[in-house]
Structures are given as C-alpha cells and as structure tokens.
Structure 1
Amino acid sequence: MDTSSPQGLSQAEARARLQAHGFNELPQARRRSVWRMAAEVLREPMLQLLLAAGGIYLLLGDRGEAMMLMTFVALTIGISLHQERRTERVLEALRDLSSPRALVLRDGQRCRIAGREVVPGDWLVLAEGDRVPADAVVREAQALQADESLLTGESVPVRKAASGEAVSSASWAAVRPGGDDLPMVFAGSLVVGGHGLAEVVATGARSQMGAIGQALQAMEAMPSALQRQTRQMVRLFAVLGLGLSALVIALHGCLRGDWLAAVLNGITLAMSMLPQEFPLILTVFMAMGAWRLSAVRVLVRRASAIETLGAATVLCTDKTGTLTLNRMAVAELCVAGQTWRVTHSLPEAFHPLLEYGVLASQTEPLDPMEQALWRLAREQLPEPERTHMQTHLHPDWRLAREYALSPELLAMSHVWAQPGHRQHLIAAKGAPEAVADLCHLPEALRAEWRQQAEAMAARGLRVLGVAQARHEGPAPGEPWPAIQHDYDFEFLGLIGWLDPLRPGVQAAVARCREAGIRVAMVTGDHPATALAIAEQAGIDVRAGALRGEALEGLSDADLALRVRDTHVFARVMPEQKLRIVRALQASGEIVAMTGDGVNDAPSLKAADIGVAMGARGTDVAREAASLVLLDDDFQAIAQAVHLGRRINDNLRKAMAFVLAVHVPIAGLTLWPLLAGWPLLFMPVHIAFLELIIDPVCSVVFEAEAAEPDAMRRPPRRPGAPLIDRAQVLWSLLQGAVVLACVGGWYAWLLSPDAGAQAWLGALDEAQSRTAGFVALVVADVALILSNRTLTQPVWVALGRANGALWRMLLATGVVLGGILLWAPLRGLFHFGPLSAPVLGGAVAVGVACLLLLELLKAVRAAAAPRAA
C-alpha cells in the first residue's frame, strides 16, 4: 500500500479493492431460504387448523374439500412469503441507510462514505465522537485517545501515537487493543479525544472486531412492549377460542352424534376466533413505518420510537444546523469599540483579531464557524499574513499544544511553535465571558465587552471572543502550563457569525404548536442570540432564556417547575441536557431531544425519543438515539411526528378492524349450531375470509393517508394503550352490528315465512348458505370502508387515494364471482346458484350494515368528541 502521500485512494482503486476484499461488515446470518420461511409460516395455528380440517375431510372421503383447503394453505403461504420478502427488502434498505459512516480521503478530498464501503488502504480522518470503522495504523495524531472497552472490557481511554513504519496487514496483525501509545486504532472503538489520520489495514471479518462477530450475530433483540401486549392478546383469544371449540365439539357430538362433524365445527370455531393478524400487523406496520420515515430523511434505529412519536409533547432542539442552515458566515468584527461589517476590505486594526481567530482554529477545519473564518482570512488578509497562517502548508510551524474546551472554561487555545524562536504564540477563542475571564480584565472593561457582545447577539449573531498570548517554551523535561489561565492573555475583540434560519422552520414550529407540542431550544449560544433566533423561528420567548449556570443552581423540583414555562435554554453544556430531559419527564412530558456530540449521548438515551444529527453528529450520539435526522433539519422532526401519528392512527384502525371482523365470524359459527340451523361456515369459508382479512389489516390500512386533524389535536395521552377499553367496546359494537344484520338475514332465508319465499323463492340449504356468505363478505367490506377514517363519513373517505384497497376489493370481487359462477368451484364451497333478487338482497344487507355503522359513528362523535 502506498504511504508516500496522504491523498488517499482514488475512487477507481477503492472500487477495485471493495470488489477484492468485500464489504467492511461483520459476518451476517444467512438469509432465510424460501423453504425455511414456509416452514415458519406453517407453524401458525391457523394453518395447522386448516391442515387438520383437510385431514378430516380425507378421512371422510371428501377429496375435493380437502384439496380446496390445501389450496388455501398454499395461497396463505404464498401471501405470507410475499409479505416476508417485502419486509426483508425494506429492512435491508434501512440497514444500508443505518451503516456507520466514515470520513476518508479519496483523490485528495475528504468524503463521507458508509462504513461498510471502507477498504484496506483508505485513509481515515478521525475526530472526537467517531466510531472507528476498521483496524488502521495511526499516521498523524493530535492528542488522540480511544475507548476500546468494546474489545478489551477496560473503560479507561488509551492514548494513540503515530507510526512511521510501512503499512502491511501481516506486520500489524499481531497488535492487540489496550495500552497507551500504540500506533493503531481498532474497528468498533470510539475516539473520545483529539483527532488524527489512520491508514486501514484490516476490514470486516479480518479485523479484531471480526473475532467476536459470531457472538454478535447470535444476539437476538428483545420484543418491544407493544409486541408483548399483542402476544398476550393473541394468547387470550387463542385460549378462549380453543375452550369454546372444545365445548362445541362436546355439544355437537352429544346432541347430533356425529363426532367427525363435531371436530370440524370445533376447528371452524377455533379458526374464526384466532386473531393471528395482530403479529402480522405489527411486523408490517413497523417495517413500512420505518421505511416511510426514511423517505423524509429520518432513520429509525429503534422501532418503539415509531409508536412514541404519536405521543410526544415536547421537542427540544438545538439551534445550529437544525433550526438554522449551519452555513456560517462572519458578519461582524469588533475591536476596541469599532465594528467592521463584511462589506468592504478589512482595515489594518482588525487584522490581529482575524489572524488569531484562525490560529485558534483547526488547520483542516470541520466546524462551519472555523471554515467561515478561514474563508474570510483568505479573502481579506494580505498575502504575507495569509501564508503566515496557513500552517498546514508550512511544516516549520508546529502546533505544540492544545487546550480543549471544558465545562469549567468555555474557551480553547492553540500553542504554536516557530522555528528558531524560543517564544511561542498562543491563540484562544471561546465564549466572550470566558475569554474575558481568561484575560483577567478589570470589571469596567469586562462590562463594556459584555454590552457589545449582547448587542451583537441581539442581532442574531453567534459571538466569540479572541485573545492572544506569548510564552517562552518550557525547558527540556519541564511540563507545559497545566491550564489556560497560566498564560498572560490579551483580549483582542469579538467575532460575530450569522447563520440564517432554514426555510420552512417557522411553518414547522407553528405546525408543532398547533398539534399541542411544545418546541424548546437548547443551545450553547449566548442567551441574546438564542432568544433572537427562537423569536424568528416562532418559539415562545415570553419566559426568557434559562442559562446553564442558573440551571446548575436549581434543585430538581425547582427545575421541574421552571421547564413548564421556559422554552429557551442558553449557554447549556451537553451534560446539562440530561437534567432538562429528566425535569420535563418529571413534569409529565414525553420528550424528544436532539443532540450530536459525545456528551449528548446520556440525554439522548434518557429522552423518550432521542434524535441524533446524521450529517454533523458523532457515531456515539447516533448509537444512543432512537431516530437519526439524515439532513439535520428541524422540518424532518415535524414530518416524523406527523408520520408517527398517521402510523398510530392506522395501527389502531387495523387492530380495531381485526377485533370487529372476528365477532360476526365467530358468532355466525356458533349461532346456527345453537339454533339448530344448517351450518353457515365450514373451514374452507373461514380460510377464504382470512385471505381477505390479512391483506386488509396489514397492507390496506397501513397505506391509509393521515387523518385531516392528525396535527390539529393534542398528543396521545402518555401511557395510554394503543387500543383502550373504549376502542375495544367500539370494535365489539361494530362486530355486533354486522352479526345482527347477517345473522338476521340468514335466519330469514331459512324461515318458512311465506313473504320471504314469495319474494326470493324457495331456497335450499346450499343457496341460503351462499346468500348468507355473500352478505357477510359485503358487510366485511362495509367494515373496511367505515374504519378507513376515525372521524369523517365514508363518502369523504372514498375520495382518498388508497390503491391497495381497490386492488384488494377488485381481487375479492373477481374470486367471489368465480366461486358463484363456476359450478365445480361452487360445489367445493357447498354453495348453490343464486337468483338476482337473492344476490341483490345479500348486497343490500351489506349496504345496510355500512349505513348503520356510519350512523353509529356519527352518534359516537356527537356524544363524545374523540380524544387524542
């Protein structure tokens, strides 16, 4: 591998190496084969009941009925396999999106790529908060430290040193993680301090992480609370259904003496009561919900966040890059009471301020503020000074020491060594009050600078102070000063950056407020800057800004009271975000918190919905978060909440439909048996209905558009179940309406009433069964149409696009028409031919169900408006 130049690989060479070495990822479990998925589907109780019924029909010698049931088993497996494949494709696409990112040098340019695309020979650009994507030899290191606890179990960070040896994967294969000053970083470790460059020597299974790949592969995710609740519900219905079916078998066998028929009836009842659709609904909704969120550039890392989105009551967002464009431009310089705005050439008096501002920045800046400083310096400073500052082009200038920003002092310093000079130059920048403190300014002068900084901040500028110092380097063997205060700094002035609001932020904030969601800004900026930007964005600023230092002086109880009315938090350190989250939660709020740094991870983890920045966020922040904003845009949070509410509503609709539709199926299985009528259902009929129910509840309802009032109602009450008692009762009532209508129609068809026979003609058992079944299918369609919307009448919902619904209805109509019209198929279903009046009457029963359901929905809405 060529180590002569830090230009990195060319794109062509990287593609060739990717093809030769494969993707940089751990060994993955083999994809499930079609046969394995089919075997898993066959474990479903519904299919096992169908197979049992088919076996009984074979014992009875009814091969046609047995073959029909086997056909339904095959169709159900086919539909399930199609949905499994679709879900797998969605999840694979999401895995590609969620791949850890890496900053590499390609063709001499820095570019951000998916971690799985890193190849041996790539040059990694490492900075604090990055997750190392591959094993690599350190080539340059500036106070570089890494947490290798994932590999060693030791939580203490280790120092990294640069190596000048030629890179060979064989020569470095024996190096193991752990210990200070090793010139190597390892895949899976976390950079916790400093920055540097490293050249990749091992990827994927060949890395140290690859050795534990099998253990990671064997780990299984625990089911979510919603999945556990659903399984409990399915288990309850299964026990109830099996108990009733055993009772039916006993009653039928004892009363009629036909035990094989009794077992068939028991199987039919068990099939009618088993709500196997619930797990399918959750699988499809969570996968498709995550995919829909990814379409608005929001990556879901934890499926539980999809449900929680609908209940969020507070959105805590940072300012830079989320509410604003993060396209910093220097707007003003202030020196000794004079202000220069970027409209003309820079006066000589402002040169030192800009020069030392750049010297206090990274030579290869990633921070937008530092990039803006460099741009201005290249444009405004004379050539000698400009080249003087471009230290990354002049190896005779050396960065001798760095002092990082800390919670105790919001300022950072760079110590520069000049060849041939004992004296070092020190450049510092940071919060104006911190730099003023660093310079030990008298109170009067400090007040003047504070007033100037507040005036600049009130104009929406982000303000930093800059200072300079000179220091004779320490004698050999002596340490550098331990803290920045040990230097004699001189205050140079203030620099103000302008970062405009993102387009659409005001509308997004207004949309959240209309939805009953508070929007709060949590930023490290000056309070005046924070208030100015918050007011522009439409955030409530009437309570002013709570500063980080004031927050530290509040007890937990007092802070919980303050956060109820405060919407702007300024000069907040990342560690203080955790207290804000907990205070809001103590006030009963469901909190979404944004963050991007290493120190943001605790607050992201503690928040009900942790939202990490995808573009500028660190890997550790993304790993702690539930959601990742791929574009760092606040509008995406508002869109995610809207989608979360849509998913919640549609999930409730699907669950309610499943409960409602099983009531008439179970009732019409049991009612004829108790009344001594000919049976309406046999296993083949239940199987046909299941082929309608499964696609409807999982695909059709998932594709439903959002309710018109989705963002005009308060969030769902925290802790409320997805389907509460009122929703269960409403579903049972809907099912009872269908049961009464279809059951009454079937009873009338079987009655010796002269009026019925005069209108419909004399019907035999097969014709009555056919008319009752058609009525139930149409009534089920009525249930679908009525449940498409929770508030609006059905004729409004009919105007809403849902291609999956109409495809399903068309397929159902075609199949049902084929069964009714083709005599051999009609015989397999034990159906008889219907006259036009009978068929019209069956359809009319279904339409009557729809009208009754809509009337009940209107009465319910008028009596008690729907709570969120």
Structure 2
Amino acid sequence: MRDYLDIIKRNLLSPIVVVVFLLAGALVYVREYRDAWFISVVIVVNSTIGIVQELRAKRVLRQLELMSAPKARLLRDGNVVEVDYDDLKIDDEILIQAGDELPADAKVIESKGLELNESMLTGESASIEKKNGDVVLAATTVLAGEGMARVIAVGDDTKAGAISQVLKHYKPELTPLQLAIWRAIYFLTYGAIILSLLIAIVYYFSGDNVVIILKTITSAAVTVVPEGLLLASSLLLAFGSLRLAQAKVLPQKLSAIEAMALLNLLAVDKTGTLTSDEVSLEKVASFGDDFSSSDVASFAALIAHETSGGNITGRAILAEATPPKDTEIVDVMAFSSARKMAGVRARVNGTVRTLIMGAPEFVSKLAPIDKETRKKLNDWADKGLRVLMMAEFADEKTKIKDLKEGSGMAIGAVILRNSLRHGVVETVDFLQRQGVTIRVISGDNPRTVQYIAREAGIKHPEKVILGADLAKLSDNEFNEAADTYTIFARVLPDQKERLIARFQQSGKFTGMVGDGVNDALALKKADLGVAMYAGAPASRRVSDIILLNNSFTSLPMGMKLGNQIMQAIEVIAILFFHKIIYGVTLLLTTILINMNYPYSPRHITFMNIFLVTMPTLMWTLFPPMPKHRINPKRFWRDTLLAVLPIALLTGLTVAFTYWIMSVVFPGHAAEVATMTVLTATFFGVYLVFLVGIMLDVTIDKAAKRARLLYLLSVVVVAAGSFGFGFLRDFFDFTVPNLFIMWPAIGVIILATLTQLFIARRVGRRISTSVG
C-alpha cells in the first residue's frame, strides 16, 4: 500500500502539477471558471494516466524481477524442489553447490569440499572451507564443492538481513538519460517561473488586466514544461523491457537498455558463451604402462562424481565413464577457479589413492611431465579440445590442497569437446560491425581459446597472454597488456575484475558476458553485466541483463530492440523540445512587438494533442527502426540542438503569421487566434514527418502504417473539433477562415522548405557521425 501511495503522491505533487493548480485557483479568483476548470481537468487526467501507467510499469518490472529471482533447492520427502527464498522455514534442509548464493543462515550437515566467499559480510574475499557443523551465512557465495545444510535463520533474522527485500519495495530508479530529462524538467519549471514574472511585469506596464495576465502565464507554463516526456520515456523503457524479455533478453535494470546502446567493448568467457553448453567426452588417454585408459577414465569419473556438483564437465565424464565400485572417500578438494583443479583421496578396492584432475599447466607443477607428453597436450588444445590432466600421489596424509610441487606422477589425460555455439559467428560479426571490440577472458588453455576465437571470427586471436604472466606485470605494464591483447587465458577471478576495470579506465564502455561464480566480480564491475539464466545464481544476481535462453547469440536481438527504444525516446524528445522552443520564441516575439500572446490555455491543450500526445502514442505502439546505433551520450545534440533551428523557425513564422493577420484584418481577433493555432498545429504535424528524416530512421511498413494512422487521427480530431459547434466553443475557436492567412502563405511555404532542408542536413550529419 505504501508503494501505491508513493506513486500517487509523486504524480499529484510534482512541481508542474502544483503550479498548474495554483494558476487554476487564480483563474477561479478572477471568475475565469471555464479555463480554470479546463486546465484542472486536463492536469488531473494527465496525472491519473501517469499513475495508472506507473502502476502498470511497476507490475511489469516486478514480473521481470521475479523471473530472474534465484531459487533455493529444498530437500523435501526425499525429493529436491526449488522454492523462493521467502518460502524457506527454520529446519528446512537445503542443497548448496558451487555458484549458489546462500538463501538463509544454515548449519552444514554434509560437506563435499565446500568453500565459501564471505566477502559480502566480512570484506575478505578469501576462500573459507566449511565442514560438517559449521555455520554458513545468507548472502555468501559458494566458490567450490557442494553440500547440505539445515536452515537456522531466514529473512530479517539472518545476519545479512532480508535477501529478497528488493522485490518487496518498489523504488523507481531513473536511467542516466531519464535523470537528464528530469533535470531538464526542473530547469524548465524554473524557467517557466521566470517567464511568468516577465509576462506579469510586461503585461502590467502595458495596461493589460489581471485576467489576460493569468491566462497568458498559464498558457506559457503549460507550453514550457515537458512533464509528459519523462512519463513517455519511462513507459518506453518499462514496456521495452518486457519486449526484450519476450526476445529472451531480461534486463534487471532499465539502465541496461541505455548501456546496450553505449557498449563498445565486450569481454566474453569461452565456455558456455562462445562454445555451447554441451560438452562431450572425446577420449581418455593414459601415460605410461602403469594405468590403462579405462583406469584413468574410472578415476576421472570418481573425481567428477565427488567434486563437480553436477556441472557440464562432470556430467560429460560421468556419461561415458563409471567410478570404481568399491570406494570409500577419505578427503575431497572441490574444483575452484583459483586452483583450476579438483582432487579426491579415496580407498579404492582396499588401496588408498590420492588423485588430482585439472588444467595441465597447474597439475604439471605438482606432477611434472616430459616434452613428449606436453606436446600431446598442446596438440589436443590446438584442435580446440579441452584437456584435463590426471595425476596420482603416493602421499596419503597431507591435505590434497597442500600437496607439494613435484610430488605426483602424471597418469593420463581426459579430452573433452566443447563445440562452437550455433550462431556465434553471426553474433560476433554483428557486434564487430557495430563497432564493438571483443576480448576473450577465460580460465581455459590459451591454445584452446585461440582456436575457438579464430573459429568465431574474433579479430586478432593471435594476441594472447596468460594470467600467470599478467600477475608478474607492474601496474603500467598490466594496463598496456590489457590494451594490447585480445585473449586472456588461465586468468583468475580477481584478474577478470581488474581487466574490466582497466577497459573502463581507458574510456571503453565495457560489457562482460559470463555464467560462473568466477565471473561474478567482473560482471558486477562491468558497465553492462550479462549473465546466462542457467549460470550460477551469484552471477545472475549481480548482472544487468540475463540471457533467458542461455545463448550469447540472443544479445544482438536485445541490442536491436534496445536501439529501437532509445530511438523512440529521441523522436518523442524532439517533439517536446520543438513545442517548448517554438512556444517560448512566440511568447518573447509577441512581447517584443507589443502584442498579446495569441493562445488561451485551451488552445495549448488542443495543439498538444497533435504535437505530442498522438505522436507519442504512435511511436510507443510503432517504435521507429533506426539505421544505426543510438548513442545516449549524443542525446542533447541529436534532439535539442538538432531541432533548435527548426523550432525557432516555427516560432518566428507563427509570430509573423499572427502579426500580419492582425495588421491586415484588425477587426477579426478571434479568427486570427484560431488561424494562428492552426498554423502552429500544421508545423507540429509537419515535424512528425520531418523527424524521421532528421534522425535518419528507416521508413518501413510499420512506420508508414503509423504515419497513416496518425494522419487519419489528425483529420478526425480536427474535423470533430471544428465541425461540432459545442466542441468549437469548448476550445474557444471560430470557424476556420483560410482567406485571412493569404498575407502569410509565402512565408509559411518558405519556412517549410527551409525546415526540410535543415532536417536533411541534420540527418546527413547524424548518418555520417555514426557511419
């Protein structure tokens, strides 16, 4: 209820609404009841529409939030069911695995190499090992292993507080572009106050009465403040987000739509991003005669079963190999991105075996290999295959994670195939044609990553550097390497974050695509964090966008839709800025030539129907199709500055038309006012067609249909307003008299041709600047 009251309060007590009600009260005081009633009804209707639309937007955004909300895996009656965090109760037993964010405070009752990152609560990012009986806290992240825990505190009773409170309280967050629009509204509101004071002073010393002064002030105030622009942008972003979700791209923040438009560097992981999420076991090879390939496969299956937590690599191995039957687990070291390996110590058929499987570069430090074996490993990697090396250790007492370098013996390798994801080549080509630089940041073997990057069509795949080499560099050398290399292989999670920070520091608007818990730091740091829906909950929680179909290839569709939304905002902004600039120009010109402002408040409302209301509805229903990427950083240049000369020309032409008709036909004030309104309306309608030329948008079938619908609406509304006597009186019009416009026809035609010329020049400039 509180959220709804906040929305109502925000819409009814905005500065412009308060000012209009005060002006309405003043009009009532001077007995101008009709204008007072009219502007009051209009502002109430507008505010009501704003409230209804914001409530709808709230509901849409809440639906989007709930779509991406992580679930807890609850053990119930021997089955695993997924439930919302809010549905957990004390003593519930939950399953946790690598990549999870803990939904509640709990006590571990079974641990398989469970390691947590508690930096959310302690500030320390070190991995903390958790054993049976240890307490794990809500909001911490599982880095490695898996286990089971019993819930001891939920919601506000946990140490971290309520995890899902963000879904319970609606707080509208404006995007950077909306903030700029909001500041413009405040600036123009104060500008309207200054104009009102100017009108009051000039009109008072000109001898005008209070009624004329108040009517003019009210008309100017309604003209100057673009209160509908922020509402229009909010609606476009909110319902644009829903369209994106339907295209399998779920924005968790409205600002993500702008971020997609600004993106010029994208860092991607290899596994699950460039490659598919399907991994198959290619083959298992043994080194030497002590073990057969089937022995190595059996040991690999044992490690996968105990440490993989059901990840795709573990599933691929277990699909083709079976762990030894007579096995008793003694110790487990789960896989982590920092170690790049996993291990098991177990009694197998009565013999204690200490086994490790992982990245050859890391395992070979513990179990050295000869040149021939290294060449085999490299040859497999050069073919794009993923290689895991297997080693055995005679040490039965030292903890697996503390085994000494050189103490093991390499016994074989597990070779996995992870093919290029379908559509990645087209996606990479699209992004690079859009001017987006792609960097690959992976924990995988550099040769494998190079092969995949080359297959995907990423530029300069030969420029590769290892995380170990990055660690040896000074800050300046690191920055130079980040700017130089395309592929960063065998990197650690903190190095990913540091690379993203460097890309941003060098002036790049940086995106990061990832799916694992090891990507969470980089995703959070990036300007645009993109996570896979099937990825680790921790990575989803910190991302700006979630790819619902787990496919990197859906990003271009999201960028195209986001581009349409940003283009629609620019189009509507141009219409509002035109209305404001021309209105102020007309007002100041009439003051300079000592004439009264030609419009009453009702006239302004009539014109707004054609100048902003109907076009806004049209472009919301039929978003324009841009020919290029929209850059929000150029918003003011492409909208306000672009339309400025056209709006000034409209204002001066309408002022001239008003003046010349008043001079030539001095006894026809009411007819002159009506024809001045129609002249301004004509230029507003004309701009709806010019704006496509100005912004260089594609006039496709949808755009043509939208324009036709708009024209029909203009004809119907205009015919009704002037054809029915009661509506004509309601808007304070006379029957249109085209004859009295003849002195201004030449100037109007010249102005329209000049505006067309300006629009085309603006369109060419925009097309060239982005080309």
TM-score (norm 2): 0.88
Give the structure 2 partner of residue 26 of structure 1.
Answer: none
Alpha-carbon shift at residue 410 of structure 1 (Å):
3.2
- Given that 2:528 and 2:544 are in contact with CA atoms closer than 8 Å, whether structure 1 keeps it comes out as yes
Matched residue type, 2:311: D
Q: Please state if 1:659 is matched with 2:581.
A: no
Q: 1:659 to 1:52 in 2, by over 3 A?
A: same
Distance 1:116 1:781 in 2: 52
Please give the residue correspondences for 1:13-412 in structure 2 after superposition, counting only pairs within 5 Å: 30-33=2-5, 37-105=7-75, 114-115=84-85, 123-134=93-104, 136=106, 138-146=108-116, 162=132, 181-182=133-134, 185-199=136-150, 225-336=176-287, 349-363=292-306, 365-377=309-321, 388-389=324-325, 397-405=327-335, 409-412=339-342
2:385–2:418: 8 Å Cα contact kept in structure 1? yes
Q: Distance in 1 between matches of 2:626 and 2:7?
A: 39
Matched residue, 1:5: none
Separation (CA, whole Å) in 1 of partners of 2:275 and 2:281:
15
- DSSP 3-state at the match of 2:270: coil
Equivalent position amino acid for 1:377 in 2: A
Aligned equivalent of 1:834, options 729, 736, 753: 736
**Contact persistence 2:611–2:681 (CA under 8 A):** no
CA distance in 2, matches of 1:841, 1:803: 36
For residues 9 and 257 of structure 2, what CA distance do their matches in structure 1 show? 30
Change (3 A) 1:221 1:585: same
Give the corresponding residue for 1:504. 423
After superposition, the C-alpha distances for 1:475-522 in whole angstroms (9 at most, x for unaligned) are xxxx74661337953322222111122211111111111111112222
Helix, strand or coil: the match of 2:4?
A: coil
Cα distance, 1:745–1:709 mapped onto 2, change above 3 Å:
same
What is the identity, as a one-letter code, of the residue corresponding to 1:32?
Y
Report if the CA contact (8 A) 1:668-1:681 is conserved.
Answer: no
Counterparts of 2:455 and 2:461, CA distance in 1: 13
C-alpha distance in structure 2 between counterparts of 1:204 and 1:42, whole Å: 35
Match of 1:709 in 2: 627
Taking a change above 3 Å as real, the CA distance of residues 577 and 222 of structure 1, as seen in their structure-2 partners, is same
Specify the SS of the correspondent of 1:61. Answer: coil
On the 8 A contact 1:100/1:116 being kept in 2, the answer is no
1:605-644 equivalences in 2 (<5 Å): 605-619=524-538, 621-644=539-562
Amino acid at match of 1:785: F
CA RMSD of aligned residues (A): 3.8
Q: Distance in 1 between matches of 2:615 and 2:86?
A: 37
**Separation in structure 1 between the aligned mates of residue 89 and residue 753 of structure 2, nearest angstrom:** 64
Distance 1:840 1:404, change over 3 A: farther
Q: Is the 8 A contact 1:653 1:787 kept in 2?
A: yes
Deviation at residue 787 of structure 1 after TM alignment: 1.6
Give the aligned partner of residue 589 of structure 2. Answer: 671
Q: Distance in 1 between matches of 2:233 and 2:635?
A: 12
- Which residue matches 1:587? 506
Counterpart residue type for residue 669 of structure 2: E
- The one-letter code of the counterpart of 2:548 is L
CA distance in 1, matches of 2:547, 2:166: 30
Report deviation, 1:628.
Answer: 2.6
> What SS class does the counterpart of residue 867 from structure 1 fall into?
helix
Alpha carbons 2:119, 2:125 under 8 Å: kept: yes
2:649 aligned residue: 737
Q: 1:406 to 1:373 in 2, by over 3 A?
A: closer
Match of 1:756 in 2: none
User: Which residue of 388, 410, 435 corresponds with 1:491?
Assistant: 410
Are residues 223 and 54 of structure 1, via their aligned partners in 2, closer, same or farther at CA, if it must alter by over 3 Å?
A: closer
For 1:238 and 1:583, locate their aligned partners in 2 and report how far apart those are by CA, in whole Å.
41
Pairing of 1:396-545 with structure 2 (within 5 A): 397-405=327-335, 409-417=339-347, 421=350, 423-441=351-369, 446-472=370-396, 474=397, 480=399, 483-485=402-404, 488-541=407-460, 543-545=462-464
Deviates more, 1:512-521 or 1:355-364: 355-364
Against the structure 1 CA distance between its residues 820 and 603, is the aligned structure 2 distance closer, same or farther, given a 3 Å change threshold? same
Secondary structure at the counterpart of residue 460 of structure 1 = coil
Cα distance change on mapping 1:153 and 1:333 into 2, 3 Å: closer
Distance 1:37 1:847 in 2: 46
Matched letter for residue 298 of structure 2: E
Moved more, 146-155 or 821-830: 146-155
Aligned equivalent of 1:746: 658
- 1:503 is paired with a residue whose SS is coil
Alpha-carbon spacing, 1:59–1:705, altered in 2? closer, same or farther (3 Å) = closer
| 3-state DSSP of counterpart to 2:685 | helix
SS in 2 for 1:466: strand
1:174 — aligned with what? none
Structure with a larger share of its residues in helix:
2
Mapped to 1, the partners of 2:760 and 2:166 lie a distance apart of: 56
Contact 2:86–2:164 under 8 Å retained in 1: no
Q: Specify the code of the residue in structure 2 equivalent to 1:656.
A: I
Relative to structure 1, the CA distance from residue 158 to residue 466 in structure 2 (aligned partners, 3 Å threshold; closer, same or farther) is closer
2:273 maps to a residue whose letter is T
Separation in 2, partners of 1:840, 1:117: 74
State the match for 1:779 in structure 2. Answer: 683
Describe the SS at the equivalent of 1:417: strand
> What's the CA shift for 1:547?
1.8
**Contact 2:389–2:414 under 8 Å retained in 1:** yes
* Structure-2 separation of matches of 1:116 and 1:461: 43
CA distance in 2, matches of 1:241, 1:46: 10
Q: Size of the alignment, in residue pairs? A: 768
Counterpart of 1:736 in structure 2: which amino acid? L
Q: Which segment drifts farther, 50-59 or 242-251?
A: 50-59
Instruction: Report if the CA contact (8 A) 2:101-2:142 is conserved.
Output: yes
Does the 8 A contact of 1:205 with 1:213 survive in 2?
A: no
SS state at 1:671 partner: helix
Please list the CA deviations of residues 419-460 of structure 1 after superposition, one character each: whole Å capped at 9, or x if unmatched. Answer: 8x4x4222211112333332234xxxx211111111111221
> Secondary structure at the residue paired with 1:601?
helix
Superposition pairs for residues 673-822 of structure 1, below 5 Å? 673-677=591-595, 679-691=597-609, 695=613, 699-702=617-620, 705=623, 707-710=625-628, 716=631, 720=633, 722-724=635-637, 727-752=639-664, 764-788=668-692, 790-792=694-696, 797=699, 799-801=701-703, 811=713, 813-822=715-724
Per the alignment, do residues 107 and 448 of structure 1 end up closer, same or farther by CA in structure 2, a change over 3 Å counting? farther
Q: Secondary structure at the match of 1:133?
A: coil
Q: What do the CA deviations read for 1:735-768 (whole angstroms, capped 9, x no partner)?
A: 1222233333333433327xxxxxxxx9822222
Farther-moved stretch of structure 1 (354-363 vs 210-219): 210-219
- 1:704 Cα deviation after fit: 5.2
- 1:551–1:641 distance in 2 versus 1, CA, 3 Å: farther
Distance in 2 (CA, whole Å) between partners of 1:252 and 1:437 is 88
Q: Amino acid of the residue matched to residue 353 of structure 2?
A: L
Checking the alignment, whether the CA contact within 8 Å between 1:611 and 1:628 is kept in structure 2 is yes
Query: Match for 1:744: what amino acid?
Result: F
Contact 2:387–2:416 (8 Å) recurs in 1: yes
Give, as a single letter, the amino acid of the residue that structure 2 aligns with 1:635.
T
Relative to structure 1, the CA distance from residue 838 to residue 457 in structure 2 (aligned partners, 3 Å threshold; closer, same or farther) is farther
Alpha-carbon distance between aligned partners in 2 of 1:662 and 1:377, rounded to the nearest angstrom: 72
User: Aligned partners of 2:393, 2:522: CA distance in 1, in Å?
Assistant: 37
Q: Percent of aligned pairs with the same residue? A: 24
Instruction: State whether residues 144 and 334 of structure 2, in contact with CA within 8 Å, keep that contact through their aligned partners in structure 1.
Output: no
Q: Against the structure 1 CA distance between its residues 240 and 95, is the aligned structure 2 distance closer, same or farther, given a 3 Å change threshold?
A: same
Provide Cα deviations, 1:250-270, integer angstroms capped at 9, x if missing partner. Answer: 111221241232132123223
* Residues in 1 aligned to 2:117 and 2:536: alpha-carbon distance in whole angstroms: 18
- Give the AA of the match of 2:769: A
